[in-house]
Amino acid sequence: MARKISTPPLPAPDPPIGVQHPGLGALKLEIDRYSSVSDQVHGVLRKAIVDVRLAPNERISENSICKQFSVSRTPVRAAIQRLAEEGLVDVSPQRGSFVAPLRLDGLRDSHFVRRSLELALLRETAPIWTPDMGQVMRAIIADQERMVAAQDPDGFFLEDERFHQALVGYSGRQGVWSAIQAAKIPLMRFHRYWAHKNRLQDVLSEHRMVIDALDQGDAEAAEQAMALHLDMVFVIFDRMTDEQQAGLPFDVPSREPE
């Protein structure tokens, strides 16, 4: 059942700076003959889908991929199968293969796993926090700020990844990061569609709130700030007008009448 909107709708934003759809023809892959060809094809296609360089619902043709990357059909088919298992590609025997649309249920599941893990690890990090850790994190935020000024969404999201990975690493549980990465793929795709400059500035402020609280030794405030930051994806989504939601490549259930 869809939740009712309890907050005012978002104003019409400037176009997101994080969305480009150059398509399959723009992808490049220099094959390393000493590594798995299937792994390499999978990696390039996966990154293109997550970075929305391949648009949701875009056709993924085995023949086109083979021609584009000069590889045989077998590794391409294996790569597409892996993408389907990851929920990034929909495969239909009658219609072919297509980049999967964003799915609200998948977004909620992704958020639940990521939120649970990152907050649990933050609770373990807070008691062992040091000023040196704070300095490292503030340097990452400064790098993010430079990416916003340069309107470089790829750089921004790389630094965002580095911010969260560093926090996870300080807990001493670096092995959990791979689980978080896998869980948050739907979130990463959504963030690309709402990567407006104002939102990226808000992310910087939210990151600073987390680090400020940790530097002040306030574990509860740090957890609240992180929860606010991670939950913002649904604040944004629920504040969208129907027209704004319709502009997203989402399988969106109809809203309840208020």
Q: Looking at 33-37, 179-183, 186-190, which range is the least confident one?
A: 186-190
C-beta separation of 65 from 45 below 8 A: yes
pLDDT in tens, 232-256: 988 887 887 777 777 777 664 444 4
CA distance 119 to 125: 10
Asked if residue 106 has pLDDT above 90, the reply is no
CA distance 100 to 43: 16
Question: Which pLDDT belongs to residue 3?
Answer: 38
**pLDDT tier, 226 (very low <50, low <70, confident <90, very high otherwise):** very high
φ/ψ of residue 220, rounded to 5: -65, -45
Asked if residue 172 has pLDDT above 90, the reply is yes
Asked if residue 20 has pLDDT above 80, the reply is no
CA distance 72 to 190: 32
**What CA–CA distances, in Å, run from 116 to 110, 170, 223?**
10, 17, 11
Q: Which residues pair with 107 in a beta bridge?
A: none
| Mean pLDDT for the chain overall | 87
Query: For the chain, which domains are there?
Result: 24-102 (1.10.10.10), 104-251 (1.20.120.530)
**Alpha helix (H) residue ranges in the chain:** 37-50, 62-69, 73-85, 104-125, 131-149, 153-170, 177-183, 185-193, 197-215, 219-239, 242-246
- Angle, alpha carbons 139-191-87 (nearest 5°): 120
CA distance 135 to 214: 11
Question: Which pLDDT belongs to residue 174?
Answer: 92
Q: What is the DSSP letter of 11?
A: P
Name which of 197, 229, 186 is nearest 210 in CA terms. Answer: 229
Asked if residue 52 has pLDDT above 60, the reply is yes
